[in-house]
Structure 1
């Protein structure tokens, strides 16, 4: 089975109307021993386990909760039971968006399929699949997938709604979820790296991160074609790529694992970037760029220069043994790669 912690794909978020789902509270049921027809007309008639919903007395403590964070342990300790309670609360919130696979109804489908946070119940998981209001092919995929797991008496715990998606809306939620997991992992790694740094070094690092964030946001905003249905996911992916590259470069700086570079080597790389940038700015036909413009690339280039200089200043202060030429060349080569498609 694919890992539930979602392998990132380049998908998009599109604005759609959320399918309303009215709660059905009745007596708790046992999962059927005989296969139910995997159709929503029958599944929607199933009553939900009354004891699984949080009591009214918990409402205030669950206000503003995130079942996604609680289930996956994003920024908080994993708490599957509270994630399930939170998801029932989120299920009543019309602001969760359509079809939010990682809040409310979507998380409840995952919780009951995996048996984490509530007893495994494929029938109830299929009921929630019907309530999600996904694209027809997605709904069919979820139902077929869950029915197959039920028939096989599957005991795994890595079912993911992202395994069976087809629409831009659902793909966007999956991309955002993958980015959220990756961001949490990076933050944890950076916290470990900087934990024992003196306050002055942490302050210098904060300034570097600010410059990096400005540059990464500029890439996502200005160097991604926003004309297609993949726009949202591509923007997320672009920023994720810059964040991952930043961490990788930082680790090389800390370990001293940067290539030895002479001033002529750096000059050669700088000239390559300048030539590429000049070619881009002189290009007459940019129709294949979609919404990307020369002005947007120019704006992003300025933020990159600030980011590059901030990284070099940080390394010079905190890791004086690192040759500035080596770091500049690595950063410049990365920028060249990000611009190459526009120069073709």
Structure 2
């Protein structure tokens, strides 16, 4: 399987790099694709026999990209195109055509399975969809689950399939987490653009600084304050980053709708700050963990510095956009959340 590093940079650029290991049949991959299955007896299973029956299925010539276009499509990102098109309100066949051409040119079996099973831009072709499902680099349980899922859909005549419906591994959790994170990022950018377009330039500039600070803090949370020792580490890291950015987006929506935070006194803000310092000091006194992927003091320290920058950016933005809210209120709201994060790390 192909894994692209660093993970967070992959998420920011899109899920295609990660998806390459799960959706694109490598040039020398066997059919059915058992390259990720290790030692076993796949050849004796019912799903393997089913895959052999559709080995010669192929898309109609009219579905293929023009030979002259194949070279230029080699760098396209079929998975990004697929989920971007799927997110459209009413995608037409013409919208799906570039997705199909890209997937065919790059042999992205996962995307081709979805297109032909779901009838996106083409007539449904269950046998062809099965052929592409059998070509995906997958663990045995995942392959079995996906093929059974296809059979259930075809038997009932209802439902659609997604590459992430039947995953079984920590690796694929990361793949699908990256897909979800990318789509959420698109929504966040679109939403922020809609409600900030009419703002004064100073408010727009302040929002950009806040978003930049939030991104750095979210990256640090994902990299430094997430246990990366297990096979699901990619998914956990992505989830940690996404959670921070989603929270910022939620806050902005609520505040723009007039649901501003309840006013906090200086004494309450000071008490929360005192609590933060106490928890942080206890974390710095904890014994150093020795297992791989453990959250360490240096990482917490670096993340705390970025949180302070994020807090200050929020205060500056709040003063510009929501001047009726006191700086103590912003500090207290953010500090209470940070205290909960640090307390959770203390309990590990």
TM-score range, shorter chain: 0.7 to 0.9
In the TM superposition, what is the alpha-carbon distance from 1:20 to its structure 2 partner? 2.4
CA contact (8 A) 1:69 1:75 kept: no
In the TM superposition, what is the alpha-carbon distance from 1:65 to its structure 2 partner? 2.8
Q: Distance in 1 between matches of 2:185 and 2:198?
A: 21
CA contact (8 A) 1:225 1:292 kept: yes
- Residue 170 of structure 1, aligned match among 169, 172, 179: 172
Q: Distance in 1 between matches of 2:87 and 2:227?
A: 35
Q: 1:139 matched to which residue of 2?
A: 143
- CA 290–164 in structure 1, closer or farther in 2 if over 3 Å, else same: same
- Residue 266 of structure 1, aligned match among 263, 269, 272: 269
- CA 206–45 in structure 1, closer or farther in 2 if over 3 Å, else same: same
Q: Distance in 1 between matches of 2:57 and 2:252?
A: 53
Structure 2: give runs of 5+ residues left out of the alignment: 1-17, 30-46
Q: 2:102 matched to which residue of 1?
A: 86
**How is 1:21-60 mapped onto 2 (pairs within 5 angstroms)?**
21=27, 39-59=50-70
Q: 1:67 matched to which residue of 2?
A: 78
- Residue 335 of structure 2, aligned match among 329, 332, 335: 332
CA contact (8 A) 2:21 2:137 kept: no
Q: Distance in 1 between matches of 2:343 and 2:291?
A: 14
Describe the superposition over 1:80-120 as per-residue Cα deviations: whole angstroms up to 9, x where unpaired: 222111111121xxxxxxxxxxxx11100011111112111
- CA 117–235 in structure 1, closer or farther in 2 if over 3 Å, else same: same
| 1:187 corresponds to 2:159 | no
Aligned to 1:39, what secondary structure does the other structure show? helix
Q: Distance in 2 between matches of 1:73 and 1:15?
A: 17
Using CA pairs under 8 Å that are at least 6 residues apart, name the structure with larger relative contact order, 1 or 2. 1
Q: 2:42 matched to which residue of 1?
A: none
CA contact (8 A) 1:70 1:76 kept: no
In the TM superposition, what is the alpha-carbon distance from 1:138 to its structure 2 partner? 1.1
CA contact (8 A) 1:82 1:117 kept: no
Describe the superposition over 1:294-331 as per-residue Cα deviations: whole angstroms up to 9, x where unpaired: 11101100110011011101111232112111111111
In the TM superposition, what is the alpha-carbon distance from 1:215 to its structure 2 partner? 1.0
- CA 133–37 in structure 1, closer or farther in 2 if over 3 Å, else same: closer
**How is 1:1-344 mapped onto 2 (pairs within 5 angstroms)?**
19-21=25-27, 39-59=50-70, 62=73, 64-73=75-84, 78=91, 79-91=95-107, 104-154=108-158, 156=159, 158-254=160-256, 255-284=258-287, 286=289, 290-344=293-347
CA contact (8 A) 2:254 2:260 kept: yes
Q: Distance in 2 between matches of 1:65 and 1:14?
A: 13
Q: Distance in 2 between matches of 1:14 and 1:229?
A: 16
Q: Distance in 1 between matches of 2:55 and 2:306?
A: 52
Q: Distance in 2 between matches of 1:74 and 1:184?
A: 12
Q: Distance in 2 between matches of 1:204 and 1:252?
A: 18
- CA 299–37 in structure 1, closer or farther in 2 if over 3 Å, else same: closer
CA contact (8 A) 2:85 2:96 kept: no
Structure 1: give runs of 5+ residues left out of the alignment: 1-12, 24-35, 92-103
Q: Distance in 2 between matches of 1:62 and 1:311?
A: 43
Q: 1:33 matched to which residue of 2?
A: none
Aligned to 2:57, what secondary structure does the other structure show? coil
Aligned to 1:119, what secondary structure does the other structure show? coil
Q: RMSD value over aligned CA atoms? A: 2.7
- CA 37–271 in structure 1, closer or farther in 2 if over 3 Å, else same: closer
CA contact (8 A) 1:84 1:118 kept: no
Q: TM-score, normalised by structure 1?
A: 0.81
CA contact (8 A) 1:263 1:325 kept: yes
